[in-house]
């Protein structure tokens, strides 16, 4: 845990809280953690997506551009 904390430049308590689920990871933290562990972040995301329960996938469904709030939608060319 201390080695990973050193590689990330964070305290070992940050790593412990993350590991124990007391702290959520932002996507940038996830990518940095994967690199610190010598893992490919895209494979990690694939594992997370594959292991989502069918309820989660059904409940949230695939996001479409139209589902995004108006201020985040791409403007259409006329």
Domain residue ranges of the chain, discontinuous segments joined by +: 2-65
pLDDT, tens digit, 9 for 90 and up, residues 52-62: 765 555 555 55
This prediction has a pTM of: 0.61
CATH 1.10.260 correct for 2-65:
yes
pLDDT, tens digit, 9 for 90 and up, residues 29-73: 999 999 999 999 999 888 888 887 655 555 555 555 555 555 555
DSSP string covering the chain, please? -HHHHHHHTS-HHHHHHHHTTSSPPPHHHHHHHHHHHT--HHHHHHHHHHTS-HHHHHHH----GGGS-GGGSPPPP-
């Amino acid at each position: 845990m201390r080695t990973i904390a050193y590689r990330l430049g964070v305290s070992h308590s940050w790593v412990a809280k993350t590991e124990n689920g007391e702290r959520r990871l932002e996507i940038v933290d996830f990518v940095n953690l994967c690199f610190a562990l010598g893992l490919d972040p895209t494979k990690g995301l694939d594992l997370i997506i594959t292991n989502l329960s069918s309820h989660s996938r059904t409940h949230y469904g695939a996001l479409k551009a139209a589902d995004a709030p108006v201020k985040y939608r791409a403007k259409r060319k006329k």
